[in-house]
Structure 1
Amino acid sequence: MTARLAGRKIIITGAGSGIGRETARIFAREGASLALLDRDRAAAQATADETGGFVFEVDVTDEAQVTAVVGASAEALGGIDGLLNSAGILTMKDIDTIGVDEFRRVVDVNLTGTFLVCRAALPWLRQSTGSAIVNIASAQALSPSLTGSAYAASKAAVMMFSKSIAKELAPEVRVNIICPGATETPMTDQGVAPDDIEGRKALAANYVMKRLAQPEEIGNGILFLMSQEASAITGIALAIDNGRTFH
């Protein structure tokens, strides 16, 4: 621990599992105060039991809920100077099999949810010095897979939305994007089950380093972009994907 986030007040969405949960652990070790947001309150509470922080249940697609919960988070923390949007859902259905309602749901959670939380947090982010937003996109935002067009499109939109608001909010608020490849999380398990040995090998074969990432490897990249070590960095999309995409 180096206290790289000492005194920082950070909201994390999707804090109950995967990258969000592991990043909460890292942020807590580095001295941040946290508001842990998730649709699954019990999962967020489990993260809080490890890391401390305030727990809030929220559906990121519901504007009224988001506005209320972000306001409550700011009150609990005494302000907001960091935001990690990690909430997201995955589908790998192709264009022939995905229904319009599911397509809209993926875009609504991944893109609209990110927009709503960012907008709700802005009054507090603008009041703080050195504020930063990190949004989670995907390596599929840079190079799509053979299936999963809805997911790839939603994450590419998150990336470009983030680049756009990086211009809009500079110099007061930095905005950056992390593009993870396949990572050992419940989301990846949805696509290829942990006990599907051959499937996991085939998935890893898409990566130069022939393996999946660990959540803490993604969290360490998020930590860098959230910290003042990245004070001159805004609008970048950082791929942490074991060499799946070179760009």
Structure 2
Amino acid sequence: MDREKEQTSKPAAGRLLGRRIVITGAASGIGRATAQLFAAEGAALTLLDREADGLTQTASDLNAHAFAADVTDEASVAQAIHQGAAAMGGIDGVVNAAGVMLRGSVMEVGVAEWRRVLEINLTGTYIVVRCCLPWLQKATSATIVNLGSGQSLLPNSPDRSAYSASKGGVLNLTRALAAELAPAIRANTVCPGLVDTPMAQGVQGNVGNYALRRLADPMEIARAILFLTSSESSYVTGAALAADGGRSFH
């Protein structure tokens, strides 16, 4: 049995029965894998992505609610969250998986590109959390899981300044949310290394400093997100879970 089949064939345990979860970046990659896993674990889902075709396919496969939205557009996100909350009867959790990676040296990456990366990865995360908060505050055992990066913990890969800054911001934003929203809402960060998704195209071979010497399957990251969303992590908040194959050893 190959690794992908092994990761997806484990039986569901109903860890999210009755939970109502918003997932961004659900059209592909980690967001899509998380949606698939969460649906199997019994969650009702509202999925957001700006890529409408992939989003529609994911939602159709999972009987989930889908809304095309750009996470940097507060009005668009607010409308999508409002509609999703109405359809699900509330929101118990949010997973911010939407993101973008930009490679280039400081001299190659202009200010406009820098701002775009921070807008999507950091400001987009803030907007989604802010729009979900009125419902999260009404829920019991509400959770926020944001996607950071191994670069959040150890920003030593060259030509990643904008990406590293944005993901470092996500990590500290999540810690600040954990402090501000406790004890009613838990907020944690998952920090993946390289994952076998379209975002990793062109850098798949850069795993020489990974203890496990390979990219992650998206479902492996989804399982880390599941842990931080489920009651199994009920005493965990403000944490940064490194799911990076031993890249950072944090």
TM-score under structure 1 length normalisation: 0.95
Gaps of 5+ in 2: 1-11
Residue from 132, 139, 142 that aligns with 1:128: 139
Query: What residue number does 1:147 align with?
Result: 159
Secondary structure in structure 2 of the residue aligned to 1:245: coil
Match of 1:229 in 2: 232
* Alpha-carbon separation, structure 2, partners of 1:142 and 1:94: 20
**Correspondence 1:154-233 to 2 at 5 A:** 154-189=166-201, 191-192=202-203, 200-201=204-205, 203-233=206-236
Whichever residue aligns with residue 185 of structure 1, its letter is: T
Q: Which is further off, 151-160 or 140-149?
A: 140-149
* 1:76-125 alpha-carbon deviations (Å, 9 max, x no partner): 11100010000001101110100110000000000000000000100100
User: Hey, which bits of structure 1, 4+ residues long, moved more than 2 A?
Assistant: none
SS at match of 1:153: helix
Q: 1 CA distance for matches of 2:70 and 2:191? A: 23
Query: Is residue 71 of structure 1 aligned with residue 57 of structure 2?
Result: no
Report the Cα distance in structure 1 between the residues aligned to 2:32 and 2:63, rounded to whole angstroms: 12
2:68 maps to which residue?
57
Distance 2:61 2:249 in 1: 36
1:158 deviates by 0.3
Q: CA deviation at 1:66?
A: 1.2
Aligned sequence identity (%): 50
Work out the CA distance in 2 between the residues paired with 1:233 and 1:13. Answer: 22
Equivalent pairs counted in the alignment come to 238
**Residue correspondence of structure 1 range 82-161 to structure 2 within 5 A:** 82-144=93-155, 145-161=157-173
Q: Structure 2-normalised TM-score? A: 0.94
Gaps of 5+ in 1: 193-199
Question: Matched residue of 1:211: which SS?
Answer: coil
Q: Secondary structure at the match of 1:128?
A: coil
Q: CA deviation at 1:50?
A: 2.0
Q: Separation in 1 of the partners of 2:241 and 2:167?
A: 13
Cα deviation 1:63-86 (Å, max 9, x = unaligned): 111111111110011100010000
Q: Distance in 2 between matches of 1:34 and 1:94?
A: 38
Output the CA distance in 2 between the equivalents of 1:119 and 1:133: 11
In structure 2, the residue matched to 1:197 is none
CA deviation digits over 1:154-210, x for unaligned, max 9? 000000000001000001110000000000011111x43xxxxxxx33x12121111
Q: How far apart are residue 54 of structure 1 and its match?
A: 0.4
Question: Following TM superposition, by how much is the alpha carbon of 1:147 offset from its aligned partner in structure 2, in angstroms?
Answer: 1.4
Q: Give a deviation string over 1:117-165, Cα, whole Å, max 9, x none.
A: 0001001001010100000010011112111100000000000000001
Instruction: State how far apart, in whole Å, the 1-side matches of 2:62 and 2:210 are.
Output: 32
Amino acid at match of 2:152: A
Instruction: Provide the aligned C-alpha RMSD in A.
Output: 0.8
- Deviation at residue 49 of structure 1 after TM alignment: 2.2
